[in-house]
Amino acid sequence: MKFLYDKIEARSPAFYAWLVLGLLFLIYISSFVDRQIVAVLGTAIRDDLGFTNTQIGVLYGPAFSLIYAVCGIFMGWFADQFSRKRIILTGLVIWSLMTVASGFASSFFFLVTARFFVGVSQSALSPAVYSLLADYFPPEKRARVFSVYASGIFVGVGLSFLIGGSVAQAYDWREAMKIVGWPGLILAAIGYLLIREPARKFGKSERSASRFFEVLKFILGKKAVRYHLAGFSSLALSGYTILAFIGNVLNDTFEFPSLIPQYGWFMFLAGAGVNVSGWLADKLAIKYGPEKRFVMGIAAALGGLPFYYFGLMAESVMTAFVLIGIGNVIASSYNGVAAALIQYFVKSDMRGMAGAVYLFVVSIVGFGIGPPVTGWLIDNIFTDLYGPSKALLLVFTVCGVLAAVSFLKAMQHYHEDAVD
């Protein structure tokens, strides 16, 4: 059978590359819809199966994020050794089936097991995609290309609120799980016909287990990479924290819980912001030098702080809602640039590992530190009416300043550490 890519790429290689990017973008949306859906349906699942809030928290967080972060490192190594197309599509099929299966769950153990497999399978996606896109597109286009892909994060989160929440209200949470899971299987079939795996040659020594640690040492041995990871993990910490506690601000401080689902609309704007940031990063690189892509990280780190401050301390709920949302859009704009930047510091056969290291750090720091620390601050330090706002402002300010300083240092070491 002659695959679609044989016909399309022969006519227009550039069009084919963007077509594959579009499909990978849809797959990334699917991953975040299926990842976020537990949070959207949390109260419905809790009430139906008699769970506690702690159990719902475990399903949303550790049951997914810990295995996702750890497995991602090894998935990155696999992506540098084996077919990235097969890795992506296998993961897509598994997490889609596990999401559908969750709609039949009757116990906590069942759902934890399903989330475990969702975490493992989704950890295979982005390292392989980063490596594949770096082969499909030239270096001067990577920031905007990776930003198109990264914007799928926010479209997926937004759709999980809008579609998952609407289906759950019209029917129940089980139907919502099934409906968001099935499209992934359709995307897998399209991907099998459309995606081409670029030829790569590996010697036996290159697939040895010891090479895993050699590549890891090579990546982390670069000062620019270490500053990159410090800066962008700080921004990820802020990003996970606002998503975790925006409900507390709107419900506890302003007593307006009906606005919580509507916050999903800002996620679509954040997706657009990611694309604008990637486009600007490549423009800055062409005009002023490749290290200036880090400027967009500084813009994300500091640009959202004024909006957060005036929004979180506002007296009007609508003022708070709008300004916090705008701050979130600006602060989230770094995602594509971050994933693209780390690729400039590694060799072509290390791209999957580089993406995996980035995802590991931002997942552990962002998801593992941000929400728990902020929750502790709300419970023990900032206990008044505006306690959630004060805790968030402290976290955002510290992370923003730390990130900006890290990016300035990364720019200083860019040329000594960059590979291409």
Write out pLDDT tens, residues 260-273.
778 878 888 998 99
Q: Give, in order, the Cα–Cα distances in Å from 357 to each of 15, 35, 111, 343, 362.
A: 30, 20, 28, 11, 9
pTM summary value:
0.79
Model confidence at 10, in pLDDT bands (50, 70, 90)? low
pLDDT score of 294 more than 50: yes
Among 175, 198, 221, the domain-final residue is 198
Q: Are residues 220 and 192 in the same domain?
A: no
Q: What is the pLDDT of residue 205?
A: 43
The answer to whether residue 208 is domain-embedded is no
What percentage of the chain has pLDDT greater than the value 90? 40
Top pLDDT among 245 and 329 is at 329
Q: Are residues 12 and 141 in the same domain?
A: yes
Among 167, 198, 229, the domain-final residue is 198
Cβ pair 227, 360 in contact under 8 A = no
The answer to whether residue 207 is domain-embedded is no
Cβ pair 253, 386 in contact under 8 A = yes
Model confidence at 234, in pLDDT bands (50, 70, 90)? very high
Q: What is the pLDDT of residue 203?
A: 47
Cβ pair 96, 184 in contact under 8 A = yes
Q: What is the pLDDT of residue 57?
A: 66
Q: Are residues 367 and 228 in the same domain?
A: yes
Question: Which residues are CB-neighbours of 235 under 8 A, at least 6 positions away?
Answer: 297, 300, 301, 331, 334, 338, 399, 400, 403
Q: Assign residue 420 the CATH number of its domain.
A: 1.20.1250.20
CA atoms within 13 A on the CB side of 354: 29
Q: Are residues 138 and 221 in the same domain?
A: no
Top pLDDT among 52 and 4 is at 52
Give φ, ψ of 286 to 5 degrees: -70, -40
CA dihedral over 16, 18, 20, 26, signed as positive or negative: negative
Q: Give, in order, the Cα–Cα distances in Å from 63 to each of 67, 108, 158, 192, 240.
A: 7, 11, 22, 29, 16
Among 173, 198, 223, the domain-final residue is 198
Q: Are residues 291 and 382 in the same domain?
A: yes
Q: Are residues 254 and 163 in the same domain?
A: no
Q: Are residues 182 and 269 in the same domain?
A: no
Model confidence at 207, in pLDDT bands (50, 70, 90)? low
Closest CA to 200 of 90, 82, 86: 82
Top pLDDT among 319 and 162 is at 319
Question: In this predicted model, what pLDDT tens digit does every residue of 83-117 receive, in sequence order?
Answer: 899 999 999 999 999 999 999 988 889 988 998 99
- What is the distance of C-alpha 115 from the center of its chain? 17
The answer to whether residue 204 is domain-embedded is no
Q: Give, in order, the Cα–Cα distances in Å from 39 to each of 183, 277, 408.
A: 20, 28, 36
If you average pLDDT over residues 188-195, what whole number do you get? 91
The length of the chain in residues reads 420
Question: In this predicted model, what pLDDT tens digit does every residue of 236-256 receive, in sequence order?
Answer: 999 888 877 777 788 778 888
- In the predicted model, what is the mean pLDDT of the chain? 86
The answer to whether residue 206 is domain-embedded is no
Q: Are residues 227 and 358 in the same domain?
A: yes
The answer to whether residue 11 is domain-embedded is yes
The answer to whether residue 177 is domain-embedded is yes
Q: Are residues 125 and 265 in the same domain?
A: no
* Helix (H) / strand (E) containing 8: helix 4-11
Q: Are residues 125 and 268 in the same domain?
A: no
**Choice among 158-162, 166-170, 200-204, 310-314 with the minimum mean pLDDT:** 200-204
State how many domains the chain has.
2
The answer to whether residue 79 is domain-embedded is yes
Model confidence at 359, in pLDDT bands (50, 70, 90)? confident
Closest CA to 341 of 295, 293, 298, 299: 293
225 three-class SS: helix
pLDDT score of 330 more than 80: yes
The answer to whether residue 383 is domain-embedded is yes
b/e map 141-160, b = 16+ CB within 10 Å: bbbbbbbbbbbbbbbbbbbb
Q: Which amino acid is at 132?
A: L
Host domain of residue 154? 1-198
Q: Are residues 133 and 272 in the same domain?
A: no
Q: Distance between CA atoms of 3 and 318, rounded to whole angstroms?
A: 52
Closest CA to 228 of 175, 297, 182, 159: 297
pLDDT score of 1 more than 50: no
Q: Are residues 232 and 306 in the same domain?
A: yes
